[in-house]
Amino acid sequence: MKSDIQQLANQLNKQFDQGEASSMKWLFQPLLELLAKGEPVSVEDIVETTGKSVEEVENILSELPSVERDEQGRVVGYGLTLIPTPHRIEVDGKPLYAWCALDTLMFPELIGRTVHIESPCHRTGEIVKLTVEPDRVVSVEPSTAVVSIVTPEQMASVRTSFCNEVHFFSSETAAKDWLDKHPEGKVVPVEDAFKLGRLLGVRYKESGNGSCCGL
């Protein structure tokens, strides 16, 4: 019998396959690794890392409604971003940000780095602090913290459809108002959210090529 987290991962993967994430499996992990350096990523950087052509890279980027680019056309965010959000993460001493709470838990394995996370409870504003290694959650403060998860029917834009509703809460009690407004949603403990993130990340580890980490 499949676990609830495995079933949730299967459901989300099916939805991601119908949206923008389906077209960029080979790009996502190399792009995360480049963004984790804390600098804007040029098309040439992506070409060098993935072995794809400029045309292939530009075509994919043009198909992603959520990708963030600067005035020079460099990528500054896709899941992991240089643009401040409530979800602050520190990678090798560099301040970066994520689009949602689940991203912060999924990215350590994909970039092969330990990350330190600070994000306010979406209800109370209390800062949730975590240290996450690629293969485990090292610490969570407060220990009662949970993550909200939604399973939207449409995933055309992963950021607006999914990420904008995936938050940290200091406790399940703090998430009550959110759950009342999102009866189709759920909240899960940080450890379960970490497991979910790793299950979702497999789609990118198995399908990529050409990155420094074998993606």
Please measure the distance between the N-terminal and C-terminal CA atoms of the chain and give it in whole angstroms. Answer: 30
Quick check: is 121 catalytic?
Answer: no
Residue pair 73/43 in contact by the 8 Å Cβ criterion: yes
State the amino acid at position 156 in one-letter form.
A
Go through 75-101 and write b for each residue having 16 or more CB atoms within 10 A of its CB, e for each that does not: bbbbbbbbeebbbbbebeeeebbbbbb
Quick check: is 163 catalytic?
Answer: yes
User: Considering 4, 45, 92, 100, which one is annotated as catalytic?
Assistant: 100
Q: How far is CA 14 from the centre of its chain?
A: 17
CA–CA separation, 76 and 61 (whole Å): 12
User: Considering 17, 45, 70, 103, which one is annotated as catalytic?
Assistant: 103
User: Considering 45, 121, 163, 192, which one is annotated as catalytic?
Assistant: 163
- For the beta carbon of residue 21, count every other beta carbon within 10 angstroms: 23
Tokens 């992506």 locate to 46
Quick check: is 213 catalytic?
Answer: no
CA distances from 185 to 8, 152, 182 (A): 11, 9, 5
Q: Which of 113, 115, 88, 112 is nearest to 99 (CA)?
A: 88
- The catalytic residue positions are 100, 103, 163
